[in-house]
Amino acid sequence: MKKEEVLAKIQEVGIMPGIRTSSAEDGRFAAEAIAQGGIPIVEITMTVPKAIDVISDMVRNSPNVIVGAGTVLDVETARRCLAAGAGFLTSPGLDLKIVEFAVKENILAIAGAMTPTEVMAAWQAGSGLVKVFPCTPIGGPAYIRALRGPFPQVPMIAAGGVNQETAADFILAGAAALGIGGRLIPKVALEQREPERISELARRFLRIVKTARSKISHRN
């Protein structure tokens, strides 16, 4: 899938599931359950054991799912993720070298940013989306709304502490998508192998995003 198509799909779906599990098997299980729930996007973080193998396996076996790499901290890791078939590269903070690598390789970069300066630098460097992280501790939806003032052209992913109670508020504040991890993939659902529990949470978050977006369209 081309970079522009990946970007469009993430914005259309509005949810970026971050998979941060303690084993490769749990990572695959969570990714499949999320896809069953209607979210055809997963971000396999580099903290998952054998994360690059998980990316490679999913790219091969789940052709309808966009599989990206998360918590990418250096260019060498970015290169390995790209070789495994990752459809996008996400980092928790701003590393311009990773963004420049992604631009050069024509793959979607999603740089992490917290301050206005970082948002501006990430966007100017070519980050297709900017992940505002950690969002909740630094003001939540109000912070996204504040950033959207000077940067209306920058599509932002709100990540870090987003839950069912706050998800709609982040969308209403102007977030293009939501980065969700533990609230979408409960540990107990992994331990007890309950895929339907994860799938139902995926469907629930999708409904929240859709409802919030419909309020915005009516408001406009």
Task: Name the residues annotated as catalytic.
Answer: 43, 131
Tell me which H or E stretch contains 67. Answer: strand 66-70
Cβ atoms within 10 Å of 76's Cβ, excluding its own: 10
Which residue type, as a one-letter code, is found at position 110? Answer: I
Do 25 and 184 contact (CB within 8 A), yes or no? no
**In terms of Cα–Cα distance, which of 190, 163, 212, 156 is closest to 34?**
190
- DSSP notation for 40-55: -EEEEETTSTTHHHHH
